[in-house]
């Protein structure tokens, strides 16, 4: 993990999180929204996640600890008692920091934290054309367990959602 470290997200990291999120909204199919977020919305998100006992972590450059290279979190998969041991996660890496092992490190840390909470499974919802994310998850022991065809829309296109699951 040379060149970065994984730490708990703080409010000082949120401008970097916003920048990564908004890039994904504008340029990719990773987030199925065409509406960018704001610093205030991410503050509320951070407070809600951490207030519910869920992690929000960031990869940072130790020399510039507020320079966010990537981030990840997990939270409620479905809000019914039968899913209490299952979480859905997300991992995003800044476009300038990709292919440095940052996504792998964030995902690995999320798995460790989920195991520490005695959770049973992690779920990732991934755009079916995102081969890099699918490969990352496969390398981390996730399996494709569903492909929901035509369930999403963005940039005028119909999108398929792949569910990848890791039993913990």
Amino acid 1: pLDDT: 43
Low-confidence ranges of the chain (pLDDT < 50): 1
- DSSP lists the bridge partners of residue 93 as 70
Q: Residue 37: give its domain's CATH number.
A: 3.40.630.30
Show the domain range for 102. Answer: 5-123
Amino acid 156: pLDDT: 96
Does residue 163 form part of some domain?
A: no
Alpha-helical runs (H) found in the chain? 14-27, 39-51, 102-116, 131-139
- Domain total for the chain? 1
Amino acid 137: pLDDT: 98
Does residue 158 form part of some domain?
A: no
Does residue 25 form part of some domain?
A: yes
Does residue 156 form part of some domain?
A: no
Does residue 96 form part of some domain?
A: yes
- What is the distance, to the nearest Å, from the Cα of residue 151 to the centroid of all Cα atoms in its chain? 20
Instruction: Encode pLDDT of 14-45 as tens digits.
Output: 999 999 999 999 999 999 999 999 999 999 99
Does residue 73 form part of some domain?
A: yes
């Amino acid at each position: 993990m040379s060149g970065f470290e994984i730490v708990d997200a703080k409010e000082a990291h949120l401008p970097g999180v916003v920048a990564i999120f908004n890039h994904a909204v504008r340029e990719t199919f990773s987030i199925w929204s065409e509406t960018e977020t704001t610093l205030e919305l991410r503050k509320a998100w951070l407070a809600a996640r951490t207030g519910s006992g869920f992690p929000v972590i960031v990869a940072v450059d130790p020399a510039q600890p507020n320079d966010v290279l990537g981030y990840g979190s997990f939270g409620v998969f479905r809000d019914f008692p039968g899913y209490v041991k299952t979480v859905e996660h997300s991992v995003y890496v800044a476009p300038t920091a990709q292919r440095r092992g940052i996504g792998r490190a964030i995902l690995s840390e999320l798995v460790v934290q989920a195991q520490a909470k005695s959770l049973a499974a992690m779920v990732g919802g991934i755009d079916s054309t995102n081969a890099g994310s699918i490969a990352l998850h496969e390398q981390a022991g996730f399996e494709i367990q569903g492909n929901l065809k035509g369930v999403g829309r963005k940039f005028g296109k119909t999108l398929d959602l792949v569910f990848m699951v890791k039993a913990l």
